[in-house]
């Protein structure tokens, strides 16, 4: 039975609270798995399997698939739609409560995340894995189009911000495709996109990650302020030494944070 029929059979009621907008379109599901570049040696984690449509496609390609689903009402549906696949496990747990260091231990050779993310917690999920995992290799995720555009925004643009820089110094980020809202059941109010974040290809070397994270946060905390003013507040510098610091890196002392490239963020954090 196809998954959309399984959903009907179980009289499933979509929950807005859990961001349940499912995908049944086979071509799109196929494209997402191709975007993720999963191969038969890969261990994959899926966040929010829903009716198991994407899960089924991933499991056919991957070595193992572990799904984390918050909604117990999907148990019967997932059992049916993933029946016969012996490399899949579904854990009914809130992904935000999962201990990432334990996941890292479980997958010493690393793992990939593939997910059509629930929109209400997109950024917390991304930052959880970004900050806590040392073993994650890639993340291929469906997010709201505007969030995807923030991830790949060029320096100086209105979308360029903490998300762009935090991802950009750790990984390479690719915008794979736009996904129109009509392809979801039920259809949300916005379009989406597929983003692939590859943590195995980071072009930068960071010496003091904690300082860099503080710098990113303060640079975008008050976007209308000059960088030097934000620096004074966060790092307790006086105006003159702040300006000298920027000049020593050939950065305009009047610059705003949004004009600072990722390479400059790293240089500055190394000096700080
Ligand atoms: N993967 C399915 C698909 O593409 O059709 C469903 C995607 S739907 C956008 C998001 C899924 O995430 C839902 O199944 C929802 O119940 C689940 N979810 C929501 N919050 C969650 C959380 N905190 N932890 C784990 N799963 C969650």
Ligand 1, from 4, 13, 14, 18: best to mutate by most atoms within 8 Å of Cβ? Answer: 18
Segment 220-227 shows an average pLDDT of: 88
CA distance 231 to 57: 48
Task: Name the domain boundary from 140, 172, 198.
Answer: 198
The pLDDT, as a whole number, for residue 91 is 98
Same domain? 191 vs 220: no
Instruction: Supply the mean pLDDT for the chain.
Output: 95
Q: Are residues 132 and 15 in the same domain?
A: yes
Which residue puts its alpha carbon closest to atom 21 of ligand 1?
70
Do 248 and 187 fall within a single domain?
A: no
Query: What tens digit of pLDDT does each residue of 164-200 get?
Result: 999 999 999 999 999 999 999 999 999 999 999 999 9
Please identify, among 198, 224, 252, the residue that sits at the C-terminal boundary of a domain.
Answer: 198
pLDDT band at 203 (very low <50, low <70, confident <90, very high): confident
- Whether 33 lines ligand 1, by a CB cut-off of 6 Å, is no
168 lines ligand 1 (CB under 6 A): no
**Cα of 163 vs its chain's centroid, Å:** 10
pLDDT at 2 over 80: no
User: What's the mean pLDDT in 69-73?
Assistant: 98
Same domain? For 176 and 251 the reply is: no
Higher pLDDT, residue 69 or 224: 69
Residues 35, 160 within the same domain: yes
**CATH code, domain carrying 240:** 1.10.8.100
116 touches ligand 1 (CB under 6 Å) = yes
Task: Determine the structural domain holding residue 74 and report its residue range.
Answer: 3-198
Strands 22-23 and 136-144: unpaired
Query: Is 140 found in the same domain as 254?
Result: no
3-state secondary structure of 226: strand
Same-domain status, 224 and 180:
no
Residues comprising the chain, all counted: 272
Q: CA quadruple 162, 167, 172, 177: dihedral positive or negative? A: negative
Ramachandran area for residue 108 (φ above 0: left; ψ -120 to 50: alpha; else beta): alpha
Tell me, what's the pLDDT at 22? 97
Give the whole-angstrom CA distance, residue 184 versus residue 91.
24
- Is residue 102 in some structural domain? yes
pLDDT band of 161, cuts 50, 70, 90: very high
């Amino acid at each position: 039975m196809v998954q959309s029929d399984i959903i009907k059979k179980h009289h499933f009621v979509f929950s807005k609270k859990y961001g349940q907008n499912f995908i049944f379109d086979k071509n799109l599901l196929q494209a997402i798995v191709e975007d993720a570049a999963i191969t038969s040696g890969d261990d994959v984690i899926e966040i929010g399997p829903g009716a198991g449509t994407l899960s089924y496609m991933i499991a056919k390609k991957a070595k193992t698939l572990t799904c984390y689903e918050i909604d117990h009402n999907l148990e019967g549906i997932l059992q049916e739609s993933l029946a016969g696949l012996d490399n899949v496990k579904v854990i009914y747990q809130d992904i935000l409560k999962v201990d990432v260091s334990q996941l890292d231990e479980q997958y010493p050779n690393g793992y990939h995340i593939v997910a059509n993310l629930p929109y209400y917690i997109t950024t917390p999920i991304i930052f959880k894995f970004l900050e806590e995992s040392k073993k994650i290799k890639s993340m291929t995720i469906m997010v709201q189009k505007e969030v995807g555009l923030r991830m790949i925004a060029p320096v100086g643009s209105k979308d360029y911000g903490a998300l762009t820089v935090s991802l950009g110094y750790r990984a390479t980020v690719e915008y794979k495709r736009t996904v129109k809202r009509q392809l979801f059941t039920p259809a949300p109010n916005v379009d989406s996109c597929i983003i692939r974040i590859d943590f195995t290809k980071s072009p930068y070397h960071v010496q003091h990650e904690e300082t860099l994270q503080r710098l990113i946060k303060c640079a975008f905390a008050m976007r209308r302020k000059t960088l030097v003013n934000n620096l004074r507040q966060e790092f307790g510098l006086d105006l003159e030494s702040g300006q000298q610091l920027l000049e020593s890196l050939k950065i305009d002392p009047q610059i705003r944070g949004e004009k600072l490239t990722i390479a400059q963020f790293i240089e500055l954090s190394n000096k700080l």
